[in-house]
Copies of this chain bind each other. A is one copy, B any other.
Amino acid sequence: MGNRPLDKLNDALENSVLVRLRGAREFRGTLQGYDIHMNLLLEDAEELVDGEVTRQIKTVIVRGDNVVYVSP
């Protein structure tokens, strides 16, 4: 099965990631943790809607089933 997608999340810990959610929402922030549901823990994040920064967020727990993709 090649490199497991979730293992790649592990490699991205402590690094900046782009998280695309369903709808027009994205987060950029530092990946501090994840679990098998792809729930994500981000720190020092900014929320973007339609590409515009709408919020600065110190800590955010994203529920996995809203995630479309994560890019380290």
Contacts and interface: CB of A to CB of B under 8 A. Distances in A.
Nearest to A38: B63
Contact of A59 (B27, B65, B71): B71
A9 to B, nearest CB: 6
A21 B63 contact: no
A6 interface: yes
Interface residues of A, number: 41
Contacts of A31: 2
Interface of A: 1-10, 13-14, 21-22, 25, 27, 31-35, 38-41, 57-72
Given A2-B14, A5-B33, A61-B71, 4 more contacts: A3-B41, A4-B41, A5-B39, A63-B69
